[in-house]
Amino acid sequence: MSDTTHLLIPYAASTSGGCQQALQGLALPHLDRLLPRLSPYPAQSDSGEETSFSAPHERALARALHLPVADGRIPWAAWHRRQQGLANDGQGWAFVAPCQWQVSTDHVTLRDPETLGLDDAASRALLAIVAPWFAEDGITLVYDRPTRWLARSPLFATLATASLERVLQRDVRAWMPDVGAARTLHRLHSEMQMLLYTHVFNDERAARGLPVINSFWVHGTGTLPAPTQATGSSPTPPVAQPLTPPTTPTTLRDAALHEDWRAWAAAWVALDAGPVASLLRQAESGTPVQLTLCGERNTLGFHSAPRGLVQRFQSLLRPQRFKDVRDQL
């Protein structure tokens, strides 16, 4: 389906009470016109749990990109390097997000790294402080962007880790990787908290009214196979055409992660008037389209496909609306 326009919508619904209330008055006319024109697409649908390490939209995006979809082991960091034109050589890669753990008597909450005011210079300075500690355990850290570094280690080849989105504003203890497989990371968490607690780096941030950085989160672990070597008389192996990722808006995600359900409902209205309306026009013109709706547990896929007379008649009598499918997410 390489010529198919694919719209993948994360956080299309949630079991949260605030979301359920927002859904009651939500009108999405373009989506309600689009769904009856589409057929279920089982290959892009799946079921999961809110406790799975990989969020449903991550699994759906991985399937669309032909990446492994094992829970907690979608190799996003290795894929990111491939997108940058860098070699992976089958090594284990991960993302490392410098962050703040807010410790209370009964919770250890991970604060959103995007709210910490980390710029390029500060992130690089912090990386220089902690990199030697990671290196002692065979983990090489590489700068990527202020709120995210890359890490290489055999440890990350098979280690399942929770997506950063799963952990934001939640108690990290429920989302830590298996202690038996990740003793090194558990120890590094303790060491980084002790190192950074009284470090001048954080003293200077506190003096400027900025949040301290006292920990990190590892996610996006896994490997990608090394490029196929050339054989015979061909001097170089054929270059595979890059896959076009589906259009994946983040406005619902941003609102849902901060439980701002009024903003979430407004974002849905904007999506319905924009990308969803555009997909509807393409479907009505006969262009192949695909729609993937993701919640916090499950994914539902739909696509334009030939339908028999009975199916078309049923869709006219009982047209499928968003309210009919949202509880399945």
> Percent helix, strand and coil across the chain, each rounded to 5?
40, 15, 40
Q: Is the pLDDT of residue 313 over 50?
A: no
Is 97 within 8 Å of 113 (Cβ atoms)? yes
pLDDT, mean of residues 253-278: 96
Is 64 within 8 Å of 57 (Cβ atoms)? no
What was the pLDDT predicted at 244? 79
pLDDT in tens, 163-215: 999 999 999 999 999 988 899 999 999 999 999 999 999 999 999 999 999 99
Backbone φ and ψ for 218, nearest 5 degrees, come out as: -100, 130
Q: Is the pLDDT of residue 83 over 80?
A: yes
Residue 276: CB atoms within 10 A of its CB come to 25
Query: Which has the higher per-residue pLDDT, 12 or 44?
Result: 12
Is 140 within 8 Å of 152 (Cβ atoms)? yes
What was the pLDDT predicted at 230? 44
Residue 39: CB atoms within 10 A of its CB come to 14
Backbone φ and ψ for 114, nearest 5 degrees, come out as: -70, -15
Query: Which has the higher per-residue pLDDT, 317 or 139?
Result: 139
Distance CA 173, CA 175 (A): 5
pLDDT band at residue 225, thresholds of 50, 70 and 90?
confident
Long-range contacts (CB closer than 8 Å, 24 or more residues apart) made by 223-226: 223/75, 223/78, 223/88, 223/90, 223/91, 223/92, 223/93, 223/156, 223/157, 224/67, 224/75, 224/78, 224/79, 224/82, 224/88, 224/90, 225/90, 226/87, 226/88, 226/89, 226/90
Token pair in block for residue 68: 């492994």
Query: Which has the higher per-residue pLDDT, 273 or 229?
Result: 273
Query: Which has the higher per-residue pLDDT, 311 or 137?
Result: 137
Q: What is the model's pTM?
A: 0.89
Handedness of CA 227, 228, 234, 238 (dihedral sign): negative
Q: Is the pLDDT of residue 310 over 60?
A: no
pLDDT in tens, 234-243: 444 433 445 6
Element (H, E) at 152: strand 148-152
pLDDT band at residue 290, thresholds of 50, 70 and 90?
very high
